[in-house]
Amino acid sequence: MSRFREPQHPDFQRLNASISFDRRLWPYDVAQSRAHARMLAERGIIASEDRDAMLKGLDAVERELTEDRFEFEPGDEDIHMAIERRLTEIAGPVGGKLHTARSRNDQVVTDLAMYTRERAEAARVAVEALMAALLERAREHSDWAMPGYTHLQRAQPVYLGHHLLAYFWMLARDRARFEFARREADRLPLGAGALAGVSFETDRRFVARELGFAEVVPNSIDAVSNRDFVLDYLNAAATCATHLSRLGAELVLWCSSEFSFCELPDEWSSGSSIMPQKKNPDAAELLRAKAPRVVSHLAALHGVMHALPLTYNKDLQEDKEHLFDAIDTIELALAAATGMIAGVSFDRERMSEAAADELTAATDVADMLVGLGVPFREAHGVVAGLVRTAVDSERPLSGLTTDELRAHSPLLAEHEGRFRELLTQESWLESKVSEGGTSLARVRAQLELARATLDGPPRS
C-alpha cells in the first residue's frame, strides 16, 4: 500500500533523487548497516538468524558494488534505499528488518560523518606531505638570496628558505583545521532515529565501538540536524585552497621569463598546441583558480543551513555535492602542490641578482641613521631623497658621491664607510636578526622548529 494515489512527477523525481552523487557513500552505508544489524541481534531486537542472513546479504551487495555490477534502478532515490532494495532482493523479506530502529535521517548523517572523518584524515596526511616537501626545499635553499616583495615591488631581500617556510606555517595551520574537522566528525549520530530517539532498547555505544567513533551524539535532535562537521571540513579546505592559490600564483610569476626565478618540473607542465617553445605552468594556474570554487562550497552550505528549522529538512541533502567537490578538489590540489614543490628548480643566480638591487637596502640605511640618533621619520626622508637622486641619475645608491651624501645628511658622509658596507647584499640579509627574521641563524632555528612541528601532533 502507498499513501499516494498518483505517481511522482518525473521532474520531481529528478529533483528529489540524490543517487547520482550519494552513491559514493556506499562503503559507509554497508559498514553502518552491518554494525546496526549486529547491535539489533545483540539486544535481542532481531533473531541471530536474521542478523546472519542480513550480514550474508550485505556481503553480496558489497561485492556487486565493489565489482561495479550493482544495477541501480530508476526507483532508487538514494544510496540508502538502493542498498536496502537490493538486500531484500538477495536475502528476502528479512532485508526489510534492517531498518528497524533506524531512519534515513540518522543513517545519512552517519554515513556522512564516517566519510568526512576519513577524508579529513586523508587531507591531514596530504597537508603533511606538502609540509615535508616545503621543509626539505627550505633546508636546501636556506641561504639563497631573493627579493622579498610588498605590493609586488622589490622591498627587502630575504632567503628563499625563509620564503618557503612561510608556506610551511600556513600549511601547519591547515593541518590543525583538518584535524579539528576530523574530531568533530568523530561522534556517532546513529540511534537518533527520525529525530526523537527510537522505541527500542538499542545500544548506541556498541555501534560506536563497531564503527570506531570516539563518542555518541548526546541529543537525538542535534544528531539529525547537525552538519557542523561538514562546515568545519569545508572551512579547513577553503583556507587551505586559498593558501595553495597564493603558492600557485607565485610559481606562475616566478617561472615567467620576466622573473625566471624557477623552472617547474616537466611532469607538472604542459606545452602549447601552437607555440612549440612554450612550457606552461597549467597546474600552478589551476591551484590559483580552484580556491574560489572551494570557498563557494563553504558559502553555499552556510546558505543551506542558515535559518533552517530543526530537525531534518530535505535542504540537508544539498550538503553532499558541496562536500564531495571540495574533497576532490583539495585532495588533487594538494597532490599537485606537493609534486611541484618537490620538483621545482630555482635559479640561484637570477634570484640573487634580483635581490642585489641596492635600493632594497634603503630601510637598512635609514636604520643606520636611527642608530646614529636620527628619529626614524627623519631618516626615512633622508633616504627617500638619496633614492630619488640615485634613480633620477640612473645610478645605484653606491654610485652617489661623498658630496652628494653630505648634501642629504652630513652624518652619512661622516660614516661613509659603514654606508658603503651596508650596500652589500649579505649585510641587508644578515641584519634581520629579530626572532622570526630572515638572518641565517634565525632561519636555521626556524627550520628546527618546523621539523619539530611536523613531527609533533597537529595543533595551531
Provide the annotated active-site residues.
Answer: 151, 272
- The C-alpha atoms of residue 297 and residue 314 are separated, in whole angstroms, by 18
Q: Which of 105, 226, 409, 446 binds ligand ARG (CB under 6 A)?
A: 105
- Nearest Cα residue to 332 out of 174, 118, 20, 123: 123
Whether the bond between 311 and the residue before it is cis, its omega within 30 degrees of 0, is yes
Report the DSSP beta bridge partners of residue 150.
153
Of the pair 97, 102, the CB lying nearest ligand ARG is at 102
Comparing CB distances to ligand ARG, the nearer of 18 and 32 is 18
- Can you say how many angstroms the Cα of residue 411 is from the centroid of all Cα atoms in its chain? 52
293 binds ligand ARG (CB under 6 A): no
Please, which residue, 53 or 83, has the CB nearer to ligand ARG? 83
| Binding segment (CB under 6 A) for ligand ARG, from list 104-112, 219-227, 302-310, 329-337 | 104-112
Q: How far is the CB of 294 from ligand ARG (least distance, A)?
A: 21
| 111, 103 contact by CB (below 8 A) | no
Q: Which is nearer to ligand ARG, 22 or 174 (CB)?
A: 22
Question: What residues numbered 17-36 form the site for ligand ARG, per CB under 6 A?
Answer: 18, 22
The H-or-E segment that residue 229 falls in is helix 228-254
Q: Which amino acid would we find at residue 301?
A: L
Please identify which residue in 108, 164, 208, 379 interacts with ligand ARG, judged by CB under 6 A. Answer: 108
Task: Specify the residue, 105 or 156, whose C-beta has the smaller distance to ligand ARG.
Answer: 105
Smallest separation (angstroms) from ligand ARG to the CB of 139 = 47
**Residue in the structure block whose three cell numbers are 528549522:** 309
Q: Which residues of 394-431 are buried (b: 16+ CB within 10 A; e: fewer)?
A: eeebeebeeebbeebbebbbebeeebeebbebeebbbb
Q: How many residues does the chain have?
A: 460
For ligand ARG, which is the closer residue by CB, 78 or 358? 78
* Residue 103 vs 338, nearer CB to ligand ARG: 103
Listed in sequence order, the residues at least 6 apart from 221 whose beta carbon sits closer than 8 Å to its beta carbon are: 192, 195, 196, 310, 311
Interface residue with ligand ARG, options 43, 85, 104, 205 (CB under 6 A) = 104
- Kindly tell me which of 70 and 169 has the beta carbon lying closer to ligand ARG: 70
* Smallest distance, ligand ARG to C-beta of residue 329, A: 21
Query: Furthest-apart CA pair in the chain: how many Å?
Result: 103
Whole-number minimum distance, CB 28 to ligand ARG, in Å?
13
Q: Which H or E run contains 187?
A: strand 187-188
Smallest distance, ligand ARG to C-beta of residue 1, A: 19
Q: Which of 134, 137, 158 is nearest to 148 (CA)?
A: 158
- Among the candidate windows 90-98, 165-173, 241-249, 309-317, which touches ligand ARG by CB under 6 A? 309-317
Q: Is 111 in the site for ligand ARG (CB under 6 A)?
A: no
Shortest distance in whole angstroms from residue 105 CB to ligand ARG:
5
Q: What CA–CA distance (Å, rounded) separates 215 from 225? A: 17
Minimum Å gap between C-beta 217 and ligand ARG is: 17
Q: Which amino acid is at 255?
A: C
Do 343 and 250 meet the contact criterion of CB atoms below 8 Å apart?
Answer: no
Site string for ligand ARG, 78-97 (x = CB under 6 A): x-------------------
Q: Which helix (H) or strand (E) holds 150?
A: strand 145-150
Q: Residues 317-346: x/- map of binding to ligand ARG (CB under 6 A)?
A: x-----------------------------
| Closest separation in Å from C-beta 313 to ligand ARG | 9
Out of 316, 326, 334, 386, the only residue in the binding site for ligand ARG (CB under 6 A) is 316
- 9 CB burial (10 A radius; 0-12, 13-18, 19+): exposed
Applying CB under 6 A, the span of 102-110, 154-162, 230-238, 408-416 interacting with ligand ARG comes to 102-110
CB atoms within 10 A of CB 342: 17
Residues that contact ligand ARG, how many (by CB under 6 A):
9
| Cβ 299 to ligand ARG shortest distance, Å | 20
Residue number with CB closer to ligand ARG (81 or 216): 81
CB half-sphere exposure, 96, CA atoms < 13 A: 2
- Strands (DSSP E) along 330-376, which ranges? 345-346
Name the residue among 321, 150, 177, 170 with its Cα closest to residue 235: 177
Applying CB under 6 A, the residues found at the interface with ligand ARG are 18, 22, 78, 104-105, 108, 312, 316-317
